[in-house]
Amino acid sequence: MNNVIAHVLSNLTCSMRFEGTLNVDLNEITMNLVPYPKLHFLVPGLAPLYSLADVRLQPRSLDQMFKDCLSPDNQLIVSSPMDHMYIAMGLMIRGNVAFSDVNRNIDMMKKKMNTIYWNQEGFKYGICNVPSLGQKQSILSLSNNTCIKDTFLELTNRFDKLYSRKVYVHHYKEYIDVSHFDEAIANVKDLYSMYDELERMSEPENIPKLKPLI
């Protein structure tokens, strides 16, 4: 687990430490992947993932790693992004990678993804020339996806079961007012509602279609 976390942080900050063909920093990621201030919870995915734990596994091709970025098995929380709505997507790519290969794979990803109608081009990617230690190429995906609402729902359900019986609450009464718990859980439920609303959002039928210029 520590190995996986280290690779995620290494890929996330590689543009600050190494030169790259198309480096992006954390400010650019936030600006491009977070359309609403409160909805800043990005789902990380790592490819390759399982070779980090077992060096005997065969290395993945670049095309396969792009496919893995959409797979539930490569997400670092229990989620299935392809079953939900993508709001925006970021890719941190490391290694000797050609722009043509990246653009080709992104075009293929777009055809498979269910992306919200007002942000169909919501992709941001960066390329760092220096690969991760022990790997020729790697990809860190950061998706702003409504699948995160399932995690919030699980947290609130578990919290409600404990809080309804005031389990462990006495440990905190000395330091904070109990009303902070009510405020916190209300905020989490509000986040769930916002992501759920986006997932159910459909393209308005009365928006006129743009005609081609030629």
Q: Are 203 and 117 within 8 A, CB to CB? A: yes
Who contacts 22 (Cβ-Cβ below 8 Å, separation ≥6)? 99, 125, 126, 127
Contact call for residues 10 and 135 (beta carbons, < 8 A): no
Task: Please list the residues that pair with 145 across neighbouring strands.
Answer: 86
The residue type of 90 is G
> Catalytic one among 19, 28, 199, 203?
28
Is 28 annotated in the active site?
yes
Going by C-alpha positions, the residue among 76, 88, 68, 71 that lies closest to residue 9 is: 76
Active-site positions read 28
